Amino acid sequence: MKIIIIGLGNFGRSLALNLTDNGHEVFGVDHKMEKVDLLKDHIANVVCMDANNESAYKVLPIKQADLGIVAIGENEGSSIVTTAILKKYKHLRIISRSLSKIHDTILNAMGIKDVIHPEKDAAFRLTKQISFNYALDYFRVDNKHSIAEVFSPYSFHGKFVKSIQLTQKYSVSLITIIREIENPISKNLTKKVIGLVTGDTILQKGDILTLFGSNKSIMNFVKDTKHN
């Protein structure tokens, strides 16, 4: 995918590097040369330009791009103008960073469906990591539900999934299992998703359970099983 990221502060820079590592062609844009210099050797291309200057966009491959991300985090006005310019390119999917509730309202009025809140999401994630002390990772589905990765309790090892009654006892659903599997050639252990889980799947030591449920249900599961 060809992606243009406008705004190369901490968030935009991390996004550009991670997307590049995942095989995407990333073009970074910022009006500060020092931010451009930090990325010039690490992503496909980087441009120093004023994103509020519509005529400057001719230096970008915007007509060939699939996605435009407005990652500006210092100036709401600049972010809104940049988003408005990108909106003129009808083929382009736009993701825009919001800095406030008013910013949310404006972006919604502009028809931007993909609005992100990096600071709020990071705070939520940290809160969950503190609250769900024994869980490994979280993905928020909405304000009340999450997907969490947790170590399979010792008491589950060797048991069939249907016998532990996750839904009946804990009100959580098992989506899949991440399991350490030995490479037959190198003999190294690698973590792999085992795919579809059935009632006859047997849990093993070291399994990581990917669970879906309400935040309260997941916290209760972690609390009730952390010493098992």
Read off the pTM.
0.61
Q: Which residues contact 156 (CB under 8 A, 6 or more apart)?
A: 164, 203, 207, 225, 228
How much is the pLDDT for 187?
66
Distances, alpha carbon 161 to alpha carbons 137, 201, 206, 215, in Å: 21, 6, 15, 22
Q: In which domain, by residue range, is 113 found?
A: 2-118
CA 68 to CA 85: how far, in whole Å? 11
Percentage with pLDDT > 70 across the chain: 92
Residues 104, 135 within the same domain: no
Residue 90 burial (CB count, 10 A): 5
CA 77 to CA 103: how far, in whole Å? 9
Across the range 77-98, mean pLDDT stands at 94
CA 211 to CA 218: how far, in whole Å? 8
Regarding predicted confidence, which is higher, 148 or 190? Answer: 148
* CA-CA-CA-CA torsion sign (197, 202, 203, 207): negative
Residue 67 has pLDDT above 70, yes or no: yes
CA 55 to CA 31: how far, in whole Å? 14
Residues 107, 154 within the same domain: no
Residue 139's CATH number: 3.30.70.1450
Q: Which two tokens stand for residue 190?
A: 């690698």
Residues 7, 92 within the same domain: yes
Question: What are the tens digits of pLDDT across the range 140-174?
Answer: 787 788 888 888 989 999 999 999 999 999 999 99
How much is the pLDDT for 124?
65
Residue 135 pLDDT level (bands cut at 50, 70, 90): low
CA 218 to CA 197: how far, in whole Å? 19
CA 188 to CA 21: how far, in whole Å? 24
Q: Which two tokens stand for residue 96?
A: 């825009």
Q: Total structural domains in the chain?
A: 2
